[in-house]
Amino acid sequence: MKAALFKEVSYPLPKLMEDIDKGIICLPDRHRPFVWKKSQVRDLLDSMYKGYPVGYLLFWPNGGGNGHKQICPEAKPKAPQLLVVDGRQRLASLYAVVHGGLVCRSESLYGPIWIAFRPRDEKFEVADAAVREDPEFIANISVMWLKYTGSDSFVAAYMQKLRASRQLSPEEEKSIPVALERLWDVKNYTFSALELSPNASEEQVAQVFVRINSAGVTHTQSDFLMTLMSVFWDEGRHEIERFCREARIPAPCGGSPFDYFIRPDPNELLRVSVGLGFRRARLQHVYSILRGKDLETGEFSEDRRTQQFEVLKGAQSEVLELHNWYHFLATLLAAGYRNADMITSRVGLIYSYVMYLLGRRHYKLYSRDLPKSIARWFFMTSLTGRYSNSPESQLEADLLKLQTVRGPEEFRQVLDQIILQALTDDFWNIGLPNSLATSTARSPSLYAYYAALNLLGARALFSKLIVYDLLDPALKAIKNATERHHLFPKNYLKKLGITERSDINQIANFAVLAWTDNINISDRCPNEYFPEYEQRCVEDGDSDELTNMRFWHALPDGWEKLNYQEFLMARRKLMAKVIRAGFEKLLKGVDLPAERLMAWTFITDSESTGVGMKPDNPYEAGGMRARLFDMLSDGEWHSTGAMQTQFRGSVPPQIEKMKQRGAKTELWRIEQDGDRVRMSWPI
């Protein structure tokens, strides 16, 4: 019969605290810092007070060599006899409460835990300012065990203090001391522990750790992978953790992974390594792969495990390479995204890093094409929320489409094909305006709009200041350089009976404005302040700037006089056009499929002529073609004869509307059927 891998042992709480204090019980390096919330510590004490079971502890006698550290900083250094495999959070919590010790919150940050108790109703609370001032509470139960040698003196001191604050009923005179005695006895609680065999291998210990935590919610698949790294490649785990620490603080000199987009966690960068090295997003199989398991036969091999860890090592070296990290972050700037506030999906950013490294490492797409391709990819994934639901499944599907790709150009084409399939005409004309119908402050559509403003070189509303410069994350001030201005101010809307925050804070009601202008506008109605600022632009003698301003900030014609709901609907459509115009700046050099190409047709005084061309500005060819461009934009069929007659007069007033809508930046299709012509816009 095979020897048991563990034995069950009982540990009174005083013995546990003593062994922690002496350093006999220690924590292996593979464990995380203390992550419990104080409310979880409170609930642990409450369960112990009521005599409930609080789960097994798992120890490993004489295991793990020299890689260990003390559970709490006050513990005396000593060669460990027991390493904690599971139960670190409970033991650290109890040491902090019973002995008044400190817990490790991060690499160098320690702090106490104060748990309060009210004997009257036997209630535990996390000590806050109100609790500390309440005479009914014992503000910090640690004091009870540290200051008093016995329960009698403690009970007497508390009762004397409580009687001084209020009159006690005869029933309270009996019940409160009983509750205090029961609280005192919590320190005699007995734990059940499992001690693994001293002969258990590190891999067996790691596997036990995974299995006993697989049903919990506090450990993830990436936690299990990090545990496996600690066993077989501890240096790699330290490298990834060091990278993440350094990414949080600007370095005074030299290279550093610090940036203004994301403070990556080790688990996130591990996902990048897995995606790059194994072309997988689901981590549930990668744990088995790294243990040397053949997923087809189910057999384990030490040689296979060594080979798989070599793959992981190679991938991680690429992930943590500062040159790769900074060049990838530069693609986010190229996509118009300026800072962490504009990143609505961390997983979307992380998975875009996977695509960047695949393009660079596997497909050798080094030239200017790689940053452009990834900029387009990130813009699309961020705008559409591609990795918002079932992100692992979506990345697996995207990676699957790259399986047959053999070269850099094919890699670029596949990415662009996925992008264009996601950003269809229906998306631009229907889906995107609908997604802008929200008051959610962290809307991906809103930040895609800001990114588009950056790509278009837009200025803030009524200002000469460039939006891109104003969103610089390195600029810190008490007052932000730009503010979200309510085009229909809050108090003005309230006067109209619109009081719901979700209605007032529709993102279509916000514009990027310099804070000085925002203060000056205050609560004035649009019909009052807009003509004033519009006149300021006219007086500056820059009519093109006024046209651009209307386009950039998606201002409908006569918006200041519109009904609020009509304004929102009209502006959402125009904001969608601005986002599309910004994205199309990223499409330069991309071969569009045939159905997205344009065939221009224009009318002269005598004939209709079809011309294949891609004009950046349809107005440059002269007034005749510009007027035709304006007329055909309604999507209706027009006879050439009727158009020629109409165009002999003055330029139709609609031409100005087209300019204000920014139509000169759109893609269009013109169709001809005999003597009839129609323009479909935009395509």
SS3 state of residue 106? coil
With respect to residue 31, please indicate whether it lies within any of the assigned structural domains: yes
- Which of 383, 398, 422 is a domain's end point? 422
Give the pLDDT score at 84: 82
Contact call for residues 59 and 52 (beta carbons, < 8 A): no
Q: How far from the centroid of its chain's Cα atoms is residue 629's Cα? A: 43
Shared domain for 33 and 134, answered yes or no, is yes
Average pLDDT of 394-412? 94
pLDDT value of position 500 = 94
667 has a pLDDT exceeding 60:
no
Residue 561 belongs to domain spanning: 431-585
Task: Summarize the confidence of residues 369-377 as an average pLDDT.
Answer: 94
Alpha helices in 368-522 (DSSP H): 369-384, 391-400, 408-422, 425-426, 432-435, 444-455, 467-470, 490-495, 501-504, 515-521
The verdict on 261 and 206 lying in the same domain is no
The H or E element that residue 484 is part of is strand 482-486
Residue 72, domain member (yes or no): yes
**Same-domain status, 576 and 618:** no
579 closest CA partner among 480, 657, 461, 662: 662
118 domain residue, yes or no: yes
The arithmetic mean of pLDDT across residues 547-571, rounded, is 93
- Does residue 100 surpass a pLDDT of 60? yes
368 confidence band (pLDDT: 50, 70, 90): confident
- The reply to whether 575 and 653 lie within a common domain is no
pLDDT in tens, 113-166: 899 999 999 999 999 989 999 999 999 999 998 888 889 999 999 999 999 999
Q: Which of 192, 218, 244 marks a domain boundary?
A: 218
Closest CA to 619 of 634, 633, 640: 633
Report the relative pairing of strands 57-61 and 190-196 from DSSP bridges.
parallel
Q: Is the pLDDT of residue 642 over 60?
A: no
Q: How confident is the model at residue 199 (pLDDT cuts 50, 70, 90)?
A: confident
Distance CA 250, CA 547 (A): 41
**b/e string for 493-509 if b means 16 or more Cβ within 10 A?**
beeeeeeeeeebbbbbb
CA distance 230 to 232: 6
pLDDT (0 to 100) of residue 541? 60
- Looking at the predicted structure, is the pLDDT value of residue 214 above 60? no
Q: Are residues 163 and 212 in the same domain?
A: yes
How sure is the predictor about 366, in pLDDT bands with cuts at 50, 70 and 90? confident
Q: Which of 175-189, 394-408, 532-546, 571-585 has the lowest mean pLDDT?
A: 532-546
How many domains are there within the chain? 4
> Does residue 467 fall inside a structural domain?
yes
Looking at the predicted structure, is the pLDDT value of residue 197 above 80?
yes
Asked if residue 74 and residue 186 are part of one domain, the reply reads yes
φ and ψ at 327, to 5 degrees? -65, -35
Assign 681 a pLDDT band (cuts: 50, 70, 90).
Answer: very low
Q: What is the mean pLDDT of residues 85-100?
A: 86
Token representation of residue 254: 């030299």
Lowest mean pLDDT among 58-62, 167-171, 300-304, 665-669: 665-669
**pLDDT score of 605:** 32
For residue 74, is it within any domain? yes
Q: Are residues 411 and 499 in the same domain?
A: no
CA atoms of 28 and 83, how far apart (whole Å): 6
On the question of pLDDT at 654 being above 50, the answer is: no
* Sequence-ordered list of residues with C-beta below 8 angstroms from that of 60, at least 6 positions apart, any chain: 28, 82, 83, 85, 195, 196, 198, 200, 205
Report whether pLDDT(6) > 50.
yes
At residue 321, the pLDDT reads: 95
In-domain check, residue 590:
no
Q: 196 near 206, Cβ under 8 Å? A: no
Within 13 Å and on the Cβ side, how many CA atoms surround 542? 12
Report how far apart, in Å, the C-alpha atoms of 35 and of each of 93, 172, 221 are: 10, 38, 17
pLDDT band at 453 (very low <50, low <70, confident <90, very high): very high
- Tell me the residue type at 230: S
pLDDT for the residue numbered 71: 56
Q: Do the Cβ atoms of 91 and 57 come closer than 8 Å?
A: yes
> Is the pLDDT confidence value at 626 over 70?
no
Confidence of residue 561 (pLDDT cuts 50, 70, 90): very high
Same-domain check for residues 490 and 516: yes
Do 244 and 197 share a structural domain? no
Q: What percent of the chain has pLDDT over 90?
A: 47
CA distance 543 to 656: 12
Q: Is residue 260 in a domain?
A: yes
pLDDT of 289 reads 82
Point out the domain boundary residue: 394, 422, 450: 422
Looking only at the bridges linking them, the beta strands covering 6-12 and 190-196 are antiparallel
> Residue 302 pLDDT more than 70?
yes
- Residue 633 pLDDT exceeds 60: no
Q: Do 209 and 224 fall into the same domain?
A: no
Residue 610 φ/ψ region, left for φ over 0, alpha for ψ in the -120 to 50 degree band, beta for the rest? beta
Q: Are residues 543 and 415 in the same domain?
A: no
Residue 654 CA: distances (Å) to CA of 557, 649, 667: 11, 14, 19
- Name residue 540's beta-bridge partners: none
Do 662 and 619 meet the contact criterion of CB atoms below 8 Å apart? no
The answer, yes or no, to whether residue 651 has pLDDT greater than 60, is: no
Q: Looking at the domain assignment, is residue 591 inside a domain? A: no
228, pLDDT greater than 80? no
Mean pLDDT lowest for which of 528-532, 624-628, 663-667? Answer: 663-667
- Dist CA 468 CA 552 (whole Å): 13
Question: Which tens digit of pLDDT belongs to each residue from 56-88?
Answer: 898 888 544 445 555 555 555 455 678 887 888
Hey, which bits of 515-554 come out as E strands?
Answer: none
Residue 610: pLDDT over 70? no
Contact in structure between 345 and 444 (CB atoms under 8 Å): yes
User: Is there a single domain that holds both residue 185 and residue 235?
Assistant: no
How much is the pLDDT for 660? 45
Mean pLDDT across the stretch 437-446?
93
The tens digit of pLDDT for each residue in 473-527 reads 866 554 454 567 899 999 999 999 999 999 999 999 999 887 777 778 888 999 9
